[in-house]
Chain A
Amino acid sequence: MKLQQLSLFLENRPGRLGAPLEAIAKEGINILTLSLADTAQFGILRLIVREWDKAKQVLEDAGWVVNLTEVVAVDVLDRPGGLAEALAVLEGAGLNIEYMYAFSLRRGDKAILIFRFEDPDRAIAVLLEKGLHVVDGDELLSVVSC
Chain B
Amino acid sequence: MAAQTHEAHRQTEHRIWDADAETLPRDGIEALQLERLRELVTRVARVPFYRDHFAHREIGPHSIRSLADVRRLPLTTKDDLRRQHPFGFLAVPRKALARIHGSSGTTGRPTFVAYTARDLETWSNLCARFLVAGGLRPEHTAQVAFGYGLFTGGFGLHYGIERVGAAIIPAAAGNTRRQIEIMRDLDPEVLICTPSYALTIADSARELGIDPRSLPIRFGHFGGEPWTEDMRREIEDQLDIAAFNNYGLSEVIGPGVSGECPERTGMHIQEDHFLVECLDPETLEPVPEGEPGELVISTLTREAMPLIRYRTRDIARLYREPCACGRRTARMSRVTGRTDDMLIIRGVNVFPSQIEEALLRVEGTTPHYLIEVSRPGTLDEVHVKVEIRPEIFSDRMDRMQALCERISREINTVAGIRAHVDLVEPRSIERFVGKAKRVLDRRNLGE
**Contacts from A to B (Cβ < 8 Å):** 5, 7, 9-11, 16, 37, 39, 41-42, 44, 46, 63-67, 69, 98-99, 116
Contacts and interface: CB of A to CB of B under 8 A. Distances in A.
B389 interface: yes
Interface stretch (B204-212, B255-263, B425-433): B425-433
B390 to A, nearest CB: 5
Interface residues of B, number: 18
B84 interface: no
B426 A67 contact: no
B388 interface: yes
27 contacts: A5-B395, A7-B394, A9-B388, A9-B425, A11-B423, A11-B425, A16-B425, A39-B397, A39-B401, A41-B422, A42-B400, A42-B422, A44-B395, A44-B396, A44-B397, A46-B395, A63-B425, A63-B426, A64-B426, A65-B389, A65-B425, A67-B390, A67-B394, A69-B395, A98-B396, A99-B396, A116-B396
Contacts of A11: 423-425, 428
B393 A65 contact: yes
A5 B394 CA distance: 12
B390 A41 contact: no
Select the residue from B397, B401, B422, B423 with max chain A CB neighbours within 10 A. Answer: B397
Contacts of B393: 7, 9, 65, 67
A9, A39, A65, A69, most chain B CB atoms within 10 A: A9
A27 to B, nearest CB: 20
A116 B396 CA distance: 9
Interface of B: 388-390, 393-398, 400-401, 422-428
Contacts of A99: 396-397
A67 B396 CA distance: 11
The 8 closest A-B pairs by CB, nearest first: A7-B395, A9-B388, A37-B397, A69-B395, A65-B393, A65-B388, A42-B423, A11-B425
Nearest to A38: B397
Given A42-B422, A67-B390, A69-B395, 5 more contacts: A9-B423, A9-B425, A39-B397, A42-B424, A64-B426
Contacts of B395: 5, 7, 44, 46, 67, 69, 116
A87 B428 CA distance: 40
A123 to B, nearest CB: 16
Nearest to B427: A63
Nearest to A69: B395
A44 B400 contact: yes
A46 B400 CA distance: 14
B425 A64 contact: yes
B353 to A, nearest CB: 25
A57 B216 CA distance: 67
A60 to B, nearest CB: 9
Contacts of B423: 9, 11, 41-42
Nearest to A37: B397
B207 to A, nearest CB: 22
A36 to B, nearest CB: 10
B176 to A, nearest CB: 25
